[in-house]
Amino acid sequence: MGSRGGYRTRQQEELLAFLRASRGEHLTAADIRDHFSGCDRPIGTTTIYRQLERLVEDGSVRRYLLETGDSACYEYVGADQLNAPHFHCKCERCGRLLHVSCEELSALEAHLLSHHGFAWNSGKTVFYGVCGECRNA
């Protein structure tokens, strides 16, 4: 959707506006489809995937594959690809995916590299557990 392809369709514009408004959230293609269906402006699933792939290619959207068999999650990051590093925590009860910015985890990442020669990919690392809301329920 960036400079490739020249013009943008109404659906492309609406999808991009929705993703921008949802910045920082992890959405599946089904979440996006349901949003537009609920607004009486349906966008086909194939169109959604095609547009998401273009946005992933141009760097304004990140794709996360959490578990085998799960749908991919997409997160709008915009032109600013230098987002603060963050880690992902997935609740095993409700399925919510949380962003965690934490100096302690960043220190662990640095330790793995300097002491063990292992370059940790924080964007693909997911910690599993139970979120505060589910623990308190």
If the chain, 137 residues long, is cut into consecutive pieces of 10 residues, what is the mean pLDDT of each piece? 56 90 88 92 91 88 74 80 68 85 86 93 83 93
Q: What is the pLDDT of residue 1?
A: 46
Q: Say how far apart CA 127 and CA 104 lie, in whole Å.
A: 14
**Which structural domains are found in the chain, ordered by start?**
10-76 (1.10.10.10), 87-136 (3.30.1490.190)
Contact (CB, 8 A) for 91 and 98: yes
Kindly report the number of other CB atoms within 10 A of residue 54's CB atom. Answer: 16
SS3 70: coil
Q: In angstroms, how far is the first alpha carbon of the chain from the final one? A: 42
Give the orientation angle of helix 29-38 with respect to helix 45-57, to 10 degrees: 130
pLDDT of residue 79: 65
Tokens of 90: 């997935």
